[in-house]
Amino acid sequence: MRYQHLSAPIRIGGLSLSNRIVMPPLVIWASDQSGLVNETHLNHYRERKGPGLVIVEATAVSPEGRLKGSQLCLFNTAQAQGLERLAEVIRRNGSVPGIQLHHAGGKTRSEYLYGETPLVPSASRYPSGQSCRELSRPDISRIQEDFVRAARTAADIGYEYIELHGAHGYLGCQFLSPKTNARNDEYGGSLSNRQRFLLECYEAAAREVGSRALVTVRLGAAENNGLTLDEGIDTARRLSLLGAPLLHVSNGHDVPSEPPLPGSPYSSIMQLGISVRQQTGIPVIGVGGVTDPSDAESLIADGLVDLVAVGKGILADPEWAMKTLEGREDSIVSCIGCSPCRWFSDPGSCPAVKKRGAV
Ligand SMILES: Cc1cc2nc3c(=O)[nH]c(=O)nc-3n(C[C@H](O)[C@H](O)[C@H](O)COP(=O)(O)O)c2cc1C
């Protein structure tokens, strides 16, 4: 078989996956103020068959944590019921359902929050002219409880993989970075203080969920907000010491294309995942710029990462994983790497979607 490493099953931290392909979280902005799953979500995920693991898009754990007003949410019963149906759709497709739990912190605007105010680690580091409130200690505890409650609910409704968002400049990442965190309490200052919010969230969520699901973090292992790779490696090691059996390594802020680094088939984001894997030995989901199944195969065959996430490739062609696993890779309609990604702002304008004649 051509992609024997990519199609090999794997067991990590109690999670059994039928292959090494992951659909990473990819927001489609199809909800409304309710934050509910609707038919658009169900159809979108139903079409995307084949990955061993499908991670449902960034889902807000608190009303003020939304990145946009049309984001999926998980802080009430109706939202949980919709997400349960979505997990079932993913499971019926043969994939393991996962979900990303998210709080945007200061990376949102009050007009998306239906009257709520953005909450930030340090008001002094927030763009001037926009309203926000600096997180008090009770706010921090309440948001951590929101993550824990959402993780517990996600496990209750069938998600076997639960990832806390600690990358891309959102709240976990805002605490990690000295550029957005100027606090002088135990959540700011030294690296270990800046890690505290995310590590406490992880520890409490993982304890709450126990063996019912694998809890992990999408970690911005180095970010263009002042976080270095050494700091990312340190956070990765601490998460591992707390029991994280796997990390999803990423970075970046908006939605760039991820061209290969000069002299390498892999992007700089994928290289971060490879570095974390090599320097810590912790199993890693690598992501960034993979559109060719043979690159995904080499990443696994060479032991560079343990699972490969294919984002824009699976948006461009919902059958990317099935075509790969069935040896029909020649018929994949490939993402051509528009920068910025057109799918992100308007799926109908994505060249691959146009080519497939689907909107
Ligand atoms: C349309 C779109 C939506 C995205 N939504 C999310 C998201 O909800 N959460 C997240 O952590 N990353 C999100 N990302 C980033 C992807 O998960 C992925 O890391 C990135 O696209 C790089 O992988 P790729 O080159 O395979 O697409 C999004 C990217 C795109 C293009």
Q: Which CATH architecture has domain 10-356?
A: Alpha-Beta Barrel (3.20)
- What is the distance between the alpha carbons of residues 320 and 5, in angstroms, rounded to a whole number? 16
Q: What is the pLDDT of residue 52?
A: 98
β-strands 161-166, 214-220: how paired?
A: parallel
Q: What is the mean pLDDT of residues 285-314?
A: 97
Please tell me the distance between residue 37's alpha carbon and the centre of ligand 1 in angstroms.
Answer: 19
* Top mutation candidate among 173, 255, 308 for ligand 1, by most atoms within 8 Å of CB: 255
pLDDT confidence band for 284 (50 / 70 / 90)? very high
Q: Report the SS3 class of residue 271.
A: helix
**Does ligand 1 come within 6 angstroms of the Cβ of 322?**
no
pLDDT at 131 over 90: no
pLDDT reported for residue 256: 55
pLDDT digits (tens, 9 = 90+) for 305-332: 999 999 999 999 999 999 999 999 999 9
Please give the residue that has the higher pLDDT: either 155 or 223: 155
Q: Where are the alpha helices (DSSP H) in 157-267?
A: 171-176, 191-209, 229-241
Tell me: the pLDDT tens digits for 50-104? Answer: 999 999 999 999 999 999 999 999 999 999 999 999 999 999 999 999 999 999 9
Q: What pLDDT shows up at residue 128? A: 75
**Does the beta carbon of 347 lie inside 6 Å of ligand 1?**
no
Q: What is the mean pLDDT of the chain?
A: 94
Cα(269) to centroid of ligand 1, in Å?
A: 12
State the pLDDT at residue 257: 63
Indicate whether residue 100 lines ligand 1 (CB < 6 A): yes
Q: Which two tokens stand for residue 137?
A: 């200690």
Look at ligand 1, atom 1, and give the residue with the nearest C-alpha. 344
Q: What does the pLDDT read at residue 259?
A: 73
Task: Tell me how far the alpha carbon of residue 140 lies from the centroid of ligand 1, in angstroms.
Answer: 26
Ligand 1 nearest-atom number relative to CA 343: 1
**Residue-range domain boundaries for the chain:** 10-356
Q: What is the pLDDT of residue 255?
A: 53
Could you tell me which of 309, 264, 314 has the C-alpha nearest to residue 284?
Answer: 309
No. of helices (H) and no. of strands (E), the chain: 12, 12
Using the mean position of ligand 1's atoms as its centre, give its distance from the Cα of residue 350 in Å: 15
Dihedral class, residue 348 (left if φ above 0, else alpha if ψ from -120 to 50, else beta) = alpha
Residues 6+ apart with CB under 8 A from 232: 219, 220, 221, 222, 249, 272, 276
Reply yes or no on whether the pLDDT at 241 is more than 60.
yes
Model confidence band, residue 1 (pLDDT cutoffs 50, 70, 90): confident
Spacing, Cα 197 to ligand 1 middle (Å): 23
Nearest of 138, 73, 125, 82 to residue 104 by alpha carbon = 73
Higher pLDDT, 65 or 223: 65
3-state secondary structure 51-116: CCEEEEEEEECCHHHCCCCCCCECCCHHHHHHHHHHHHHHHHCCCEEEEEEECCCCCCCHHHCCCC
C-beta 101 within 6 A of ligand 1:
no
pLDDT tens digit sequence for 148-179:
999 999 999 999 999 999 999 999 999 999 99
288 CB less than 6 Å from ligand 1?
yes
